[in-house]
């Protein structure tokens, strides 16, 4: 098995691929992320590796996730780097749609202006969360790179994989 060759597959394809214009790609990424609600959030620190299915919102060019807690926070405490995947369910062979997002996660202080702004965006009544017996934590993921794989791009004359660096 040539691990290096396998690892470099997409980088080699990208060298000759037809790129989408940056603003058009940003728009397509935003549309896709707004059309979906759940992701698989991968966190890791030392021997602790987690991949958590979690609901998100795409707002202000970031992903926002409310969570009761869990082991992902232990990993994030030691390593804020994350990777997450958003994808279409049960794609047919040759009809794939999904993206991988790498970036940095931060914890938003409960009841701060940033926290309350997200609640307003999600139309979540502040009182509903204040009444809980434990806090709802808010994670903010700031993307550094989004790799969007969409078979439909081929019919538009683009490479099926498009990358956006922030």
pLDDT tens-place string over residues 78-131: 999 999 999 998 767 767 899 999 999 999 999 999 999 999 999 999 999 998
Residue 89 pLDDT: 84
pLDDT tens-place string over residues 125-143: 999 999 899 889 999 999 9
Residue 56 pLDDT: 98
pLDDT tens-place string over residues 31-68: 999 999 999 999 999 999 999 999 999 999 999 999 99
Query: What does the block give as tokens for 166?
Result: 């922030």
Is pLDDT above 80 for 145? yes
**Residue the block writes with tokens 């299915």:** 53
């Amino acid at each position: 098995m040539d691990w290096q060759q396998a690892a470099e597959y997409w980088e080699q394809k990208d060298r000759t691929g037809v790129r989408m214009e940056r603003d058009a790609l940003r728009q397509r990424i935003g549309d896709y992320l707004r059309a979906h609600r759940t992701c698989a959030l991968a966190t890791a620190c030392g021997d602790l590796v987690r991949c958590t299915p979690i609901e998100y919102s795409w707002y202000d060019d970031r992903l926002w996730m409310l969570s009761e807690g869990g082991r992902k926070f232990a990993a994030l405490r030691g390593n804020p780097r994350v990777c997450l995947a958003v994808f279409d369910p049960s794609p047919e062979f040759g009809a794939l749609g999904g993206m991988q997002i790498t970036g940095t996660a931060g914890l938003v202080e409960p009841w701060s202006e940033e926290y309350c702004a997200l609640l307003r965006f999600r139309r979540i009544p502040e009182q509903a969360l204040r009444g809980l017996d434990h806090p709802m934590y808010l994670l903010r993921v700031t993307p550094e790179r989004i790799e969007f794989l969409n078979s439909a791009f081929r019919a538009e004359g683009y490479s099926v994989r498009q990358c956006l660096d922030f």
